[in-house]
Structure 1
Amino acid sequence: MAIDPDTAVQLAKIFMPYAMQKTDELQCGGKLVHYTTADVAIKIIRSQTIWLRNARAMHDFSEVQHGFTELKSCLGADDSLLFKRLCAALDGCAAGAGQETIRVFDHWWKETQFATYIACFSRHDDAEDQYGRLSMWRAFSQDTAGVAFVLRPPPPNAAAPARAILSPVGYFNQQDLKGQVEAVIAQIEANLDFLRRFEKPIIVGYAHRMLLMAVVSMKHQAFKEEQEWRVIHLPNLDQSPHLFSETEVVSGIPQIVWKLPLKNNPEIGITNLTIPELLDRIIIGPTSYPASIWEALVRELNLIGVQDAHQKVYSSGIPLR
């Protein structure tokens, strides 16, 4: 059964209400910022790609495991009340959908926990346009120059045909997470007539995706200040017609990197995803060489057709410490 875009959005609002709410808020006036080094910034512009790195090779790997541990603790054993309520709600859509969802999740988690590829962004407020966020500069300006790409958010699901999912990170404690699961159960129960129109594989597919995205998009509450969003690719689960993988050396570590081309591909439904369309500004972080970096960034932006590039690159002027 083919799912049209409007129906897909309706299903996502039922199974992933938190992510859809945050996406709506972002579309109403937010921006996303990608903090990186000046060296990587030049590579991003020249190649017009964003790199998605394996969580095992990033600081975020512990958070992927953190999400799994938190979800398991929240749902508890098979005889827990919350687990039973979730399964009963799914069974109300299609007989046996509850246990089938858990079976599929357990199977694919073994495949995806070591093959989760992400690119990290932060929610950016207008008040940060001049300086960026100091805590992020401290993370990306250690012995190098940091650069921040401030981007207008792409249309919802702009990269979904490429099997790259933009997802907000949830900073949930156990009580928060329980509330999120209860909200999903309530949405399912309130939309049973609609959901019963779909065959069981579709219900299981959306429910499985809900659990999986919850796991790979959850971090400890102590990191809430980051306001992180992630572009996520799960190559063992999703074959991509747009992304490609290459071996790169990052900070001296050889690793496989999946690359998302920042190029439109109307044949598979990808539009509004180029650097000239997305770029709001570039902020140069604390550095001894802001003028040199400014000149290099402006030149590279001009070469890929960014209009008024010289007006889109700013030096934060933050003193180097």
Structure 2
Amino acid sequence: MPIDTNSKKMLQVFFRYDRKRTHALANSNGLVAHYTTADTAMKIIKGRSMWLRNAAVMNDFSEIEYGKSVMLPVLQGELGDRYRAALNAISEGLADDVMRRHDQHRTHAREAVFTASLSEHDPDDQLGRLSMWRAYGGPVAGVALLFHGWATDLEVEPSLEVGVSPVLYGGPNDFAREFAEAIAHIEGNKDFLRTFDPQIISNAATNVLQLSMFSIKHPGFAEEQEWRIIHRPYEWSSALVMPCNVTIGGIPQTIYELPFHNPAKGVEFNIPQLDLNTILAGVMLGPCAYPETIFRALRDEMSGAGIDEPEKRIIVSHIPLRQHW
């Protein structure tokens, strides 16, 4: 069920930075790439679901701690006081509720979050990001699933309880700049926000703090231009995003599967706005030992998943594989 007009406006007030970046990406006709192994890419396509992994086993799990360290001095300073005053102007005691929930969440954030990483991708780029190929290339063969940028707007199906957040690269000053803009919009819309149940406003305010904590990275990683798909099943569960046990890199683990359109699986999976045939712009094959073999396997799997003309969507980067002897 789509979000009603007033709720959408309310979310735009709180998620000011996310909405700004989402609209810019959609208007630029840009793509986002999900770098993974060819084996995982095949399973994602066959199962018609994106894999969301626990932050504790991700390559960059320590960055959650970085996000905490960036936000803390801002929330404890003058901007934090202004934020709390803006919330209390909507409903007395709202700020205490939001900050209490945020403090509780910070203590177990790493274990409670399941995520997948995306990287902004120029439609004319035929090579991909070397840093990503180094992480996923070699004998296992790296693949980038290329999605249209407008697909990052998961507002279209709120029942998924999944957020897509652009990463902010920087320190406390960079966060403070965006946070101040968000506070100004809360202050300017306080009369409108008062029309909502305070619990709904508390949920939105808490969510934006939590997503921010997962989406702030050191500026040294800025070339990645990352976005994060984020799901917190212990707080906001969805009947459509289900857990599954898999083994990745020899590590057995629980993932959550974010479904793509698959009405044959059940009426609840009739999600045309997430139809792989529509949102998947292409698949890029990185440096590997057997590109022709992987090309054919990907083509057949994509065809079986109902993706039209798969051979025209597969891009072979032709980056030479560095052998390690």
Considering the TM-score relative to the shorter chain, is it more than 0.5?
yes
* 1:148 paired to 2:144: yes
Of 93, 96, 105, which aligns to 1:96?
93
Closer/same/farther in 2, CA of residues 222 and 314 from structure 1, 3 Å limit: same
* Equivalence for 2:42: 42
The alignment partner of 1:86 has SS state of: helix
- Cα distance, 1:109 vs structure 2: 3.3
The alignment partner of 2:22 has SS state of: helix
Identify which range, 4-13 or 215-224, moves more after superposition.
4-13
* Equivalence for 1:168: 166
The whole-number CA distance in structure 2 between the counterparts of 1:268 and 1:288 is 37
The whole-number CA distance in structure 2 between the counterparts of 1:269 and 1:299 is 23
Q: Normalised by the size of structure 2, how large is the TM-score?
A: 0.91
Identity %: 35
* Equivalence for 1:283: 284
* Equivalence for 1:272: 273
* Equivalence for 1:218: 216
Give the conservation status (yes or no) of the 8 Å contact 2:48–2:262: no
Q: Deviations over 1:234-266 (max 9, x none)?
A: 011111110111121111111111111212567
Identify which range, 271-280 or 19-28, moves more after superposition.
271-280
Question: What aligned pairs does 1:223-238 form with structure 2 within 5 A after superposition?
Answer: 223-238=221-236
Q: Deviations over 1:134-169 (max 9, x none)?
A: 221112114321111111132722353211211111
The whole-number CA distance in structure 2 between the counterparts of 1:264 and 1:290 is 29
Q: Deviations over 1:166-225 (max 9, x none)?
A: 111111211111112211111111112211212321221111111111111111111111
What number of residue pairs does the alignment pair up? 316
Of 158, 168, 171, which aligns to 2:156?
158
Give the conservation status (yes or no) of the 8 Å contact 1:67–1:219: yes
Give the conservation status (yes or no) of the 8 Å contact 1:264–1:273: no
Amino acid at match of 2:69: T
5+ long unaligned stretches in structure 2? none
* 1:105 paired to 2:106: no
The whole-number CA distance in structure 2 between the counterparts of 1:10 and 1:135 is 38
The whole-number CA distance in structure 2 between the counterparts of 1:119 and 1:99 is 31
5+ long unaligned stretches in structure 1? none
* Equivalence for 1:73: 73
Q: Normalised by the size of structure 1, how large is the TM-score?
A: 0.93
* Equivalence for 1:137: 133
The alignment partner of 2:217 has SS state of: coil
Give the alignment's Cα RMSD to 1 decimal: 2.0
* Equivalence for 1:315: 316
- Cα distance, 1:271 vs structure 2: 3.0
